[in-house]
């Protein structure tokens, strides 16, 4: 058994093996995060910032510490640049809100065919409001951004908003190349880190992006919480997104002045327990040996890719190598629908997969398909999970194909 | 829980492809998508004197949708329009627990709520086609 499972309560009491390979959708929560959540809700539960009693003081300190954990996880320069959101989706909508006033009619937001709908629709809405338009970086047959084509797409680009790692093909984006493009064009760079954040700590300063969003539930924290990091001057350049408590400086009936970032973007009582638990999950992640975990993930991804490649009638979408990718693999079995595969793998083999368009319909169209099966790895997966997947697929193929 | 979801009866019904294809000159056509997976069914009806004289469906979907589309063809084709109008509600009631011999092979789907839309999709397409027909008067 993979020893890291001891850190994940989901594996504590099982009457059957848990071959959980749907980590790109939601990972399991790590024990420190769950314990931090229970501790807060049991011992410290109270609102933050407005209480003077000791219990509220403890809650406020823990909440501030969580913001610092997120700062360290991202290697952000200051906790004032960490905005708690409900997840990547709200983070990306907030990013679009913050940047939209810079757009003039005719300007272009450069996205890509790899995007999850949550890094597409917010930009469509912003473009519509400002008379701007979207342009998409094409994708290679190997499921990667076709950055060779970047220069021909440059005209009037003001914002580049792309995924840091694909939730369908697993491809990791060459951010340095995009950074150079943004330097040359003056565009701002927004990264959707929803997938990448589950694979170890980040360095937004080295990446050179301007805004970065991710979700807690995909990186071993709870649901309902996420982070938007942004350069302070950008965060400070826009009006609030939502109005309410916690985000104001001074309010009269006629008008209000707004709190500085990050509070300007955190209207209302935040998900306090969620933020504290996310801080614990990020601390857990920072304490891991990601060189070892990365090697383990590549080894398992390689076994998965090799096994799939030798399965008759199996088509892999994206690169079949293990470099510059996360352990997310999409495929299809000839003549067997993705949901039939997923249902049978679960009921007959205890393997949890995802089938569908993965909220990436433009990419499905690019690959001329409607739905794929996706298997995605986390540090607690092991060879038995991959074997169960491959044996299960062989059985399904015999049964249905 | 879903042990029997892919039992032989469902697989056989899906593979029968009853009514699969398109009509050359349909009276009315409806297309219906399942947003969960992007599955799509196109239903063509030929209607004459208040009866569905012919029906064909083009189905891009999972086995459950295909089995259900075969059942749709079995029950709607050759019947009268009034009876066909009842089918959408009937399959809905069936997945929620109402006994109905016609859909008996789909019984295992009752325990898989995430798949209910898969079996109701063909009947929704039929209902859409009939609604369109009615609108035209
Ligand atoms: C690449 C990518 N971006 C954004 C999201 C949206 O994340 P959430 O639903 O947690 O807001 C996801 C999650 O499915 C994703 O995989």
Q: What is the ipTM of this complex?
A: 0.80
Query: Pick from A332, A396, A325, A339: which is nearest to A367 by CA?
Result: A332
Provide mean pLDDT across the span A192-200.
98
Q: To 10 degrees, what angle do helices A54-74 and A272-286 make?
A: 40
Detail the DSSP E strand segments found in B27-116: 28-34, 39-48, 51-60
CB contact under 8 A, B115 and A340: no
Mean pLDDT of chain A: 95
> For residue B3, what pLDDT is reported?
55
In the prediction, which pLDDT does A304 show? 98
* Beta carbons of A339 and B62 less than 8 Å apart: yes
Q: What is the pLDDT of residues A310-369, one digit of tens each?
A: 999 999 999 999 999 999 999 999 989 999 999 999 999 999 999 989 999 999 999 988
- The pLDDT, as a whole number, for residue B1 is 41
- Cα(A295)–Cα(A25) distance, rounded to whole angstroms? 22
At CB < 8 Å, which residues of chain B contact A? 1-3, 5-6, 11, 36-40, 60-64, 112, 115, 118
Question: What is the pLDDT tens value at each position of chain B, 137 positions in all?
Answer: 445 788 889 999 999 999 999 999 999 999 999 887 778 999 999 999 999 999 999 999 999 999 999 999 999 999 999 999 999 999 999 999 999 999 999 999 999 898 999 999 999 999 999 999 999 87
Domains and CATH numbers, chain A: 32-286 (3.40.640.10), 289-400 (3.90.1150.10)
Q: What is the tens place of the pLDDT at every residue in A70-81? A: 999 999 999 999
Tokens representing A385?
């999970």
The stretch A379-383 carries a mean pLDDT of: 97
DSSP 8-state assignment for residue A315: E
Assigned CATH topology for domain B3-136: Sufe protein. Chain: A (3.90.1010)
Residue A243 has pLDDT above 90, yes or no: no
| Cis peptide bond prior to A222, omega within 30° of 0 | no
Task: Give the closest residue to B91 by CA, choosing from B128, B123, B125, B62.
Answer: B123
Ligand 1 closest atom vs CA A90? 11
pLDDT at A287 > cutoff 70? yes
- The answer to whether A188 and A161 are in contact (CB under 8 A) is no
Q: Name the region of A261 (left: φ>0; alpha: ψ -120 to 50; beta: rest).
A: beta
Helix axes B63-76, B116-136, angle to 10 degrees: 40
Contact A370 B3 (CB under 8 A): no
d(CA B56, CA B67): 14
Given this model, what pLDDT does residue B21 score?
96
Closest CA to B119 of B29, B4, B30, B34: B34
Give the angle A128-A132-A137 at the CA atoms, nearest 5°: 105
Give residue A254's pLDDT band: very low, low, confident or very high (50, 70, 90): confident
Count CB atoms within 10 A of the CB of residue A14: 10
In this prediction, what percent of chain A has a pLDDT beyond 70?
100
């Amino acid at each position: 058994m993979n020893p890291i499972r001891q850190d994940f309560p989901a594996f504590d009491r099982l009457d059957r093996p848990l071959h959980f390979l749907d980590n790109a959708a939601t990972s399991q929560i790590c024990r420190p995060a769950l314990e931090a959540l229970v501790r807060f809700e049991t011992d410290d539960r109270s609102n933050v910032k407005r209480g003077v009693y000791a219990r509220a003081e403890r809650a406020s300190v823990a909440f501030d510490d969580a913001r610092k954990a997120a700062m360290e996880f991202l290697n952000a320069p200051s906790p004032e640049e960490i905005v708690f959101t409900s997840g990547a989706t709200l983070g990306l909508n907030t990013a679009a809100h913050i940047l939209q006033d810079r757009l003039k009619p005719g300007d272009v937001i450069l996205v890509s065919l790899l995007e999850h709908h949550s890094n597409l629709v917010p930009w469509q809405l912003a473009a519509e409001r400002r008379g701007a338009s979207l342009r998409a970086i094409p994708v290679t047959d190997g499921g990667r951004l076709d950055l060779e084509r970047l220069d021909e797409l440059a005209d009037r680009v003001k914002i580049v908003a792309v995924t840091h790692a694909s939730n369908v093909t697993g491809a990791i984006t060459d951010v340095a190349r995009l950074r150079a493009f943004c330097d040359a064009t003056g565009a701002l760079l927004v990264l959707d880190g929803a997938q990448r954040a589950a694979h170890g700590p980040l360095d937004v300063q080295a990446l050179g992006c301007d805004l970065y969003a991710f979700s807690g539930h995909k990186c071993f924290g709870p649901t309902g919480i996420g982070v938007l990091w942004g350069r302070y001057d950008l965060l400070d350049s826009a009006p609030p997104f939502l109005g309410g408590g916690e985000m104001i400086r001074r309010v009269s009936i006629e008008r209000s002045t707004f709190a500085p970032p990050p509070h300007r973007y955190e209207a209302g009582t935040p998900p306090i327990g969620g933020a504290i638990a996310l801080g614990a999950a990020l601390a857990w992640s920072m304490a891991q040996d990601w060189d070892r975990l990365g090697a383990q993930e590549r080894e398992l991804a390689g076994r998965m890719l090799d096994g799939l490649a030798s399965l008759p009638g199996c088509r892999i979408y994206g690169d079949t190598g293990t470099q510059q990718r996360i352990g997310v693999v999409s495929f299809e079995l000839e003549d067997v629908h993705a949901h039939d595969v997923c249902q049978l793998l679960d009921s007959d083999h205890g393997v949890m997969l995802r089938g569908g368009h993965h909220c990436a319909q433009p990419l499905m169209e690019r690959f001329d398909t409607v739905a794929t099966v996706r298997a995605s790895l986390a540090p607690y997966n092991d060879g038995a999970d991959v074997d169960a997947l491959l044996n299960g697929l062989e059985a399904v193929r015999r049964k249905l194909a | 829980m879903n042990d029997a979801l892919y039992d032989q009866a469902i697989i056989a019904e899906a593979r029968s492809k009853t009514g699969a294809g398109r009509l050359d000159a349909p009276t009315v056509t409806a297309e219906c998508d399942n947003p969960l997976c992007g599955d799509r069914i196109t239903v063509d009806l030929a209607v004459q004197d208040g009866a569905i004289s012919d029906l064909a469906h083009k189905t891009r979907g999972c086995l459950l949708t295909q089995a259900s589309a075969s059942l749709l063809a079995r029950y709607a084709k050759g019947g009268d329009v009034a009876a066909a109008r009842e089918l959408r509600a009937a399959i809905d009631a069936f997945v929620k627990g109402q006994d109905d011999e016609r859909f008996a092979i789909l019984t295992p789907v009752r325990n898989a709520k995430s798949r209910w839309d898969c079996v109701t999709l063909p009947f929704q397409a039929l209902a859409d086609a009939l609604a369109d027909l009615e609108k035209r008067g």
